[in-house]
Amino acid sequence: MGVARLALSAKGFPQRAGAVARFYLDGLIAAGLAALLLTTFVIGTFYIPSVSMVPTLQVRDVLLVDEIAYHLHSPQEGNISVFRPPLDPAGSDFVKRIIGVPGDTIAISDGAVYRNGTALHEPYENQAPRYDLAIREYGIYVDGKRLDPRAAEIPPRSSWQAPNRIPGDFYFVLGDNRNYSEDSHVWGFVPARNFVGRAFLILWPRNRLAVLTK
């Protein structure tokens, strides 16, 4: 009788083992698909090729970029953002810090950056900018000279809500290494449509692993 029970029990074992195997296999497949979707549509990587964001980012750093963030909310002041270059959207992506958002006033004078009339506290800055800047008269003026709309992203007057404020759907960005960065003081504003995502982590090299905050 005991032998019969053992035989019946053993007969059901392959079925239970197969169910367990299928359970774990399904879990692994789901996890793999989730990872694929995450890396394909949500998280990207970005390699730092230049010194424009020193000291925050060093040449050869590899960043993780949240590519869904700006589908959920607008870019925020202080974000380290990846975007397509305004004048060459097909070119290599850029990474800079967002300094001004639509509706802000921006000025740079005597080495200090002012947003809405208040000097920014910028511990991340490598060195004070050696240029003056103002947004006024529907343009960006650097050392008193207006950026040429033919060579910079300066929207037409009809797109501005005020002559001295960043127009709607445009952003003002600077590199942390102010005097060695091609940014809004060279090529103007970044259109909202050009943003790729927000950098949130230095992934590599291992000794540089760090979360990027505002």
Query: Which residues are annotated as catalytic?
Result: 52, 96
Query: What's the rounded Cα separation, in Å, for the pair 197 and 7?
Result: 61
CB half-sphere exposure, 29, CA atoms < 13 A: 6
The DSSP result for 130-184, as a single string, is SS-EEEETTEEEETTEEPPTTTSB---GGG-SSTTSPPTTEEEEE-SSGGG--SH
Any idea how long the chain is? 214
Query: What's the rounded Cα separation, in Å, for the pair 36 and 14?
Result: 32
Do residues 164 and 145 touch, judged by C-beta distance below 8 A?
no
Query: What's the rounded Cα separation, in Å, for the pair 136 and 105?
Result: 9
Do residues 183 and 99 touch, judged by C-beta distance below 8 A?
no
The DSSP result for 17-49, as a single string, is HHHHHHHHHHHHHHHHHHHHHIIIIIEEEEE--
User: Which element (helix H / strand E) includes 118?
Assistant: strand 118-119
Query: What's the rounded Cα separation, in Å, for the pair 132 and 181?
Result: 15
69 secondary structure, DSSP code: H
